[in-house]
Each structure stands twice: as structure tokens, then as C-alpha cells.
């Protein structure tokens, strides 16, 4: 297969879609080769199962226009970052050969997210070392972090207004995890199917995803925006391309 332009890596299925699904939809719609890699199947989640969440993730990847969706087994709820997990991720980076990687932030409410950041950050470097493991070395040009629970001052915000409906369709694929539009409050709390209620499965959480995108959209004069953090300064060829397009 040919190399990916962008690979979004998350600790659990739905992390990437919730955080940067609009950006992935935008990139896929503009002809970029976009992939997703889930470092666990979310098997320790309160609701659903590893198998079900895997099927939901595959449907969500389809909805966003991804050409690849892959899974590793780093251990949901007890995330491992040892040599076995490094070798597995290095092999995937060399197979998929992304130019850009999107990752969790260095620290977040769920400890798996920070551990996943460390693993992704380290492996993006190690994958470029000729004498580390086997396979053709490959080092992504950059790693940007998307926003999950904990806020941060963004390095840049992507205008995802035109692709927000596509992101919503991807989130609708996660029936076991996220509140579904039109569902009763009982279904949202898990009471209808006997599943335990979760914060992530509440109507408030789903509304907060929209509210946050509207907040960051406003920062760039757009309807919806997704924020990112870069540990390194960003290179631009045209400073005017950075200006907001909407009302000032």
C-alpha cells in the first residue's frame, strides 16, 4: 500500500473521532490518505466490549473517509509502554509511513492518554532508526497533539465547519459509548439496557463536544474548530494563509 499523509493515533476507540474527527474528515475529503490507529480496543471500558468497540471504530473510520484503521494491544486501563509495545508501534509506523501523526497530549485526565503520548512520541523517533528492529525506517515529519479532557492553549485551530456533520456521523457509530441524538435520557444513562451509566455516555458530554468546537471555532471566526498543540514552532510559507476567513 502507499504511504499515509496523516495517521491519527488514540489510546481508545472514539478518542480520535471525538478530538479531531472533523480534521480527519476535512483531510480525507481533500484527497489526503488518512488512517487511524487505536492502541487498545477499549476492552476495559465500562460499557461495550473489545469486539463491539472494534466494529464501532471500523464504522467510524468509514464515515470519516479513512483508508486504514488498525489496532494494537497496549492494555486498556493499564496502558503498557514497554519494548513489546514499542516494537509493535514501530512496525505499524513503518508499514503505514505517515507524513504527519496526530497523538494525545503529554498528560490528560485518563492516565492511558499521557502514556499513549509518550509511546507515540518515542516510536515516531525510533521508527526512523536504521538499526532499531527490522523493516524500512520511517520518521514522520511532525507529531501534533489533539485536545481530549484537559484544555491547553492551542498552537493552531483547524476550521472544521464544513465537515462537522461528518464528524457527528462518526460519533453516531459509537452506540455503546456515546449518547445518541434522539435517544431518551434513560438510554443515555444506560438504564434501558442495564449497562452502567458513564460520564462519556451522558448527553452533557456529547453537548460539551459541540460546545468546545464552537468555542474554538469562534477563536478563528468559524462555526466549529478543533485545537492542536505542537511541541515545536510551525513553518509557514505564506503568513496570510493563517488569517481567519470569517467576520472580524
Binding site for Zn ion (CB under 5 A): 11-12, 15
CB of 103 to Zn ion, least distance (A): 12
Is the Cβ of residue 15 or residue 226 nearer to Zn ion in the bound state? 15
According to DSSP H, which parts of 30-110 are helical? 50-64, 83-96
Is the Cβ of residue 12 or residue 54 nearer to Zn ion in the bound state? 12
Number of Cβ within 10 Å of residue 118's Cβ equals 15
- Give the HSE-up count for residue 244: Cα atoms under 13 Å, Cβ half-sphere: 16
Cell reading at 163: 465537515
Percentages helix, strand, coil for the chain (3-state, rounded to 5) are 40, 15, 50
Is the Cβ of residue 161 or residue 177 nearer to Zn ion in the bound state? 177
The number of angstroms, rounded, from the C-alpha of 33 to the middle of its chain's C-alpha atoms is 15
CB of 110 to Zn ion, least distance (A): 5
When CB distances to Zn ion are compared, the closest residue is 12
Is the Cβ of residue 15 or residue 85 nearer to Zn ion in the bound state? 15
Q: Under a CB-based contact definition with an 8 Å cutoff, are residues 93 and 127 in contact?
A: yes
Interatomic CA distance for residues 29 and 105, integer angstroms = 26
Best CA proximity match to 58, nearest among 49, 45, 67: 67
The helix/strand/coil state of 139 is coil
Is the Cβ of residue 15 or residue 86 nearer to Zn ion in the bound state? 15
Is the Cβ of residue 9 or residue 157 nearer to Zn ion in the bound state? 9
Interatomic CA distance for residues 115 and 105, integer angstroms = 9
CB of 174 to Zn ion, least distance (A): 12
Interatomic CA distance for residues 178 and 174, integer angstroms = 6
CB of 131 to Zn ion, least distance (A): 33
First to last CA, the chain: 44
CB of 234 to Zn ion, least distance (A): 26
CB of 195 to Zn ion, least distance (A): 18
Amino acid at each position: 500500500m502507499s504511504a499515509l499523509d496523516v495517521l491519527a493515533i488514540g489510546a481508545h476507540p472514539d478518542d480520535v473521532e471525538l478530538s479531531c474527527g472533523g480534521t480527519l474528515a476535512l483531510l480525507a475529503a481533500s484527497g489526503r490518505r488518512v488512517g487511524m490507529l487505536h492502541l487498545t480496543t477499549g476492552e476495559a471500558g465500562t460499557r461495550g466490549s473489545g469486539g463491539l468497540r472494534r466494529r464501532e471504530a471500523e464504522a467510524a473510520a468509514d464515515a470519516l473517509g479513512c483508508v486504514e484503521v488498525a489496532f494494537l494491544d497496549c492494555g486498556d486501563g493499564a496502558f503498557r509502554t514497554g519494548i513489546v509495545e514499542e516494537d509493535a508501534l514501530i512496525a505499524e509506523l513503518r508499514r503505514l509511513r505517515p507524513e504527519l501523526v496526530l497523538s494525545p497530549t503529554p498528560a490528560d485526565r485518563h492516565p492511558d492518554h499521557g502514556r499513549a503520548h509518550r509511546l507515540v512520541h518515542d516510536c515516531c523517533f525510533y521508527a526512523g532508526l536504521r538499526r532499531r528492529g527490522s523493516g524500512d525506517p520511517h520518521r514522520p515529519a511532525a507529531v501534533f497533539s489533539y485536545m481530549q479532557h484537559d484544555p491547553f492553549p492551542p498552537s493552531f485551530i483547524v476550521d472544521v465547519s464544513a465537515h462537522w456533520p461528518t464528524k457527528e456521523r462518526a460519533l453516531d457509530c459509537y452506540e455503546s459509548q456515546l449518547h445518541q441524538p434522539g435517544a431518551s435520557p434513560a438510554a443515555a444513562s444506560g438504564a434501558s439496557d442495564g449497562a452502567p451509566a458513564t460520564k462519556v455516555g451522558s448527553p452533557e458530554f456529547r453537548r460539551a463536544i459541540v460546545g468546545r468546537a464552537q468555542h474554538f471555532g469562534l477563536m478563528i471566526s468559524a462555526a466549529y474548530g478543533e485545537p492542536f498543540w505542537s511541541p515545536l514552532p510551525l513553518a509557514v510559507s505564506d503568513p496570510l494563509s493563517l488569517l481567519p476567513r470569517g467576520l472580524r
